[in-house]
Amino acid sequence: MAKKVSIKAEDVRELAEYFCTPEEIAGYFGCSAKTITRNYSHAMKQGREKGKAKLRKLQWESVEKGNLTLLAWFSKQFLEQSDSIRGNINEGEDSELHKVAHATMVQLAGAGRTTSGDTAIQE
């Protein structure tokens, strides 16, 4: 007969916050993954959702500290922005757009930030 293991739902939830799989949690408690998925699916779901919220909070804090790559990713995900330019740019507008973009990059570089990697911006 199999040894009876005492598992608290809160402990399963806590491990799931770190995105542990049912197999990993089962290994931790010394039971089968089937036992975890059958008896603790609600705790697993709660833990994963809490883990996602914590991760999103850390990402947002990184954006607020100036992580421009993550800012661009968030903008694409939640504001439906993209890297492509929609519509036509006239000849005169193109050079003006480049001036504004360059001035913005210079300003960011002066604030100790870079736009990608360690690329230096020339004034």
| Tens of pLDDT, residues 23-74 | 999 999 999 999 999 999 999 999 999 999 999 999 999 999 988 988 888 8
Q: How confident is the model at residue 117 (pLDDT cuts 50, 70, 90)?
A: low
> Between vectors from CA 26 to CA 20 and to CA 27, what angle results, nearest 5°?
90
Q: Which one has a higher pLDDT value, 70 or 13?
A: 13
CA-wise closest residue to 101 among 116, 117, 80: 116
Residue 76's pLDDT is 87
Q: Could you give the CA distance from residue 7 to residue 21 in angstroms, rounded to a whole number? A: 16
CA-wise closest residue to 31 among 60, 7, 64: 7
Handedness of CA 107, 109, 115, 120 (dihedral sign): positive
Please give the model's pTM, rounded to 2 decimal places: 0.59
113 pLDDT higher than 90: no
Q: Which residue has the tokens 């779901």?
A: 45
Q: Which one has a higher pLDDT value, 107 or 95?
A: 107
Dihedral angle computed from the Cα positions of residues 104, 116, 60 and 76, in that order, rounded to the nearest 10 degrees: 80
Residue 14's pLDDT is 98
Residue 85's pLDDT is 63
